[in-house]
Structure 1
Amino acid sequence: MDLALLTALNTERAARRAAVVVTHLASGVQRLVRGEDITSDPLAGDIEAAVRAGRSGVAGEGEARVFLNVHVPPARMVVVGAVHISQALAPMARATGYDVTIVDPRTAFATAERFPDTPVIAEWPDKALPGLALDPFTAMVALTHDPKIDEPALEAALKAGCFYVGALGSRRTHAKRMERLAALGLPQAQLARIHAPIGLDIGAANPPEIAVAILGQVIGALRKPAPAREAAA
């Protein structure tokens, strides 16, 4: 790999952006495809699939065969709300490879004793989230059921382009939430990305089961192409 390509790759990695090094197997010629350029690349379909899976591999046939070396940042999950569901969700998410952070200004709930091995920030989202630098490889899970806590986090996640944004609450509660968020100037296309009621519809009846439903939905949002996600919703 030449120095210019390596420098460009490291720049993308430092900024937590996806990048793929495409190596033509017959000639050894390499090129870098940045995340923002994937959809316009001749190998867009193969590269998109590799990035979703987070897995490098060979694409193409015959003389056109290439190796796709995929570089994607570790997926993160920010859980707003130090509640019972979060206590079940945090270790499950860590076990599947997510870096998890709990945010909740309620210091009675946001404690290291309740969330061992998980970073806990006992601050309001508007203070905590800028330091976390939300990005397209971050999932936002809002679970407090308190508009003053959840909605600033949802707004920040939508503006940052988080790959998953979900919120606890009934359809009625969510309809009122959508009205308040729309009043802040968020476009309907962004608001439509919020998963609410949160989680896959598996009939979950207790906090651990709800955590499973949420994690399944988050994984689907990261790994499935958009049409498949919509069919499964």
Structure 2
Amino acid sequence: MDMNIDQIPEQALSWHRAGKGAALATVIETWGSAPRRTGSQLAINGQGDIIGSVSGGCVEGAVIVEAIEAIEQGDARELEFGISDGDAFAVGLACGGTIRILLEPVGKVLPEQMLADLVSARTARQPIAYEVDLDAGTRALHTSGFSERFRMDRSGFEEGTRRFIAIHNPPLRMIVVGAVHIAQALAPMAQMAGYDPVIVDPRETFATEARFPGQRVLTDWPADAVKEFALDTRSALVLLTHDPKLDDPALEIALRSEAFYIGALGSTRTHAKRTARLTEAGFTEQDIARIHGPVGLNIGASSPSEIAVSIIAQITQVLRKGAA
């Protein structure tokens, strides 16, 4: 199974255009201890190749069989699977659950142009919602009107209806300013949590491939890099240098952006000085309150790795529950 699950709609479109046939399977409802969240997707082509996942592996085989038939017959299907406790244990779950899956062949049910427009929006980092009315059989794309769903990254049925909304948010990004020891632990953790991390530090002694193997490292000035990245609602900024000449210019740009998370390393005393500088620069108390400083949840972290854990935990909390 290809684990580059961020490219599922893109791969489905590519398979369809290559004449291989394609279908998208989407988790539209779950009960109990379901292995994948609502909105999770699996793409299947006519030869049975797949990308993505709708379970921990326990129902994919049945979905593939149904998908190949749906591609040939050109019909949409709703599939429901109950996962027994025994099967759940086999795929690493504590107990069973039930999932309902919508299967849509590309071209015959899901229009090719609509999928292409969805892919184009994703490429442009434009949040987009795919709506399907399961009773009427209609489909539409929306770039507005579902602000809470976009913020919470939450697909699902509109209450009291059979209108399913699949949220396609841009991939998560994390810009880490400061190629320090904490960043060495934070970057791989961020990748595992689904972020595309970038480390920025103009100090070339710190920002090296040897210290950050396999990571994207830039030696730009932080303000230049942050400005170029155009922080949006799917971007997190973590400042780890606690050097005002590196952190402050980047921080000022971030406070004028839509970044969902801004965190800055430093003690309470350091943050108080930071607050005073930002106030003098014209930022309001509400602006400055967006900064998580000292960065990370207060879990008593001591080592660089533990601090990295606290930062990832806090970013996850803000992403899923909103800022405290």
TM-score, length-normalised on structure 1? 0.84
- The structure with more radius of gyration: 2
Which residue, out of 18, 32, 36, partners 2:141? Answer: 32
Describe the shift of the 1:189–1:3 C-alpha distance in structure 2 as closer, same or farther (beyond 3 A): farther
Q: 2:319 aligns with which of 216, 219, 222?
A: 222
C-alpha contact (below 8 Å) 2:226/2:254 kept by paired residues: no
What is residue 85 of structure 2 aligned with on the other side? none
Distance 1:148 1:178 in 2: 15
In structure 2, stretches of 5+ residues that fail to align are 1-109
Quote the residue 1:168 is aligned against: 265
SS in 2 for 1:221: helix
Cα pair distance change 1:187/1:28, threshold 3 Å: farther
More strand by percentage: 2
The aligned counterpart of 1:147 is 244
Stretches of structure 1 that go unaligned for 5 or more consecutive residues are: none
Question: What is the alpha-carbon distance in structure 2 between the residues aligned to residue 129 and residue 193 of structure 1?
Answer: 17
The SS at the match of 1:77 is strand
Q: Supply the AA of the counterpart residue of 2:159.
A: G
Cα distance in 2 between the residues matched to 1:212 and 1:140:
15
Instruction: Quote the offset at 1:10 in angstroms.
Output: 4.8
* 21-30 or 181-190, larger mean C-alpha shift: 181-190
User: How well do the aligned residues superpose, as a CA RMSD in angstroms?
Assistant: 2.1
Give, as a single letter, the amino acid of the residue that structure 2 aligns with 1:38. Answer: F
Partners of 2:307 and 2:210 lie apart in 1 by 22
Measure the CA separation in 1 of the matches of 2:201 and 2:210. Answer: 14
Which of 130, 151, 159 is 1:60 aligned to?
Answer: 159
Read off the aligned partner of 2:296 and give its amino acid letter. G
Q: Percent identity of the aligned residues?
A: 48
Structure showing the higher helix proportion among its residues: 1
Residue 11 of structure 1: how far off its partner (Å)? 5.3
In the TM superposition, residue 5 of structure 1 has moved relative to its aligned partner by: 5.5
1:31 alignment partner AA: A
- State the shift of 1:17 in Å: 2.6
Note if 1:18 corresponds to 2:117.
no
Helix, strand or coil at the partner of 2:256: helix
Aligned to 2:81: none
Residues 5 and 158 of structure 1, relative CA distance in 2, 3 Å threshold: farther
- The one-letter code matched in structure 1 to 2:142 is V
Q: Which has the higher contact order (CA 8 A, sep 6+)?
A: 1
Structure 2 length as normaliser, TM-score?
0.61
Could you say which residue in structure 1 is the equivalent of 2:287?
190
Query: Equivalent residues in 2 for 1:1-233 (5 A)?
Result: 9-10=118-119, 12-35=121-144, 37-39=145-147, 47-48=149-150, 52=152, 54=153, 56-61=155-160, 64-224=161-321, 226=322, 229-230=323-324
Residues in 2 aligned to 1:107 and 1:100: alpha-carbon distance in whole angstroms: 18
Amino acid at match of 1:217: Q
Q: Which moved more, 1:5-14 or 1:147-156?
A: 5-14
Q: Is the 8 A contact 2:266 2:293 kept in 1?
A: yes
Distance 1:4 1:158, change over 3 A: farther
- SS of the equivalent of 1:160 reads coil
Letter in 2 for 1:30: R
The alpha carbon displacement at 1:4 in A equals: 7.7
Q: 1:59 to 1:217 in 2, by over 3 A?
A: same
| Amino acid across the alignment from 1:181 | L
Distance 1:132 1:120, change over 3 A: same
* Worse-superposed segment, 206-215 or 184-193: 184-193
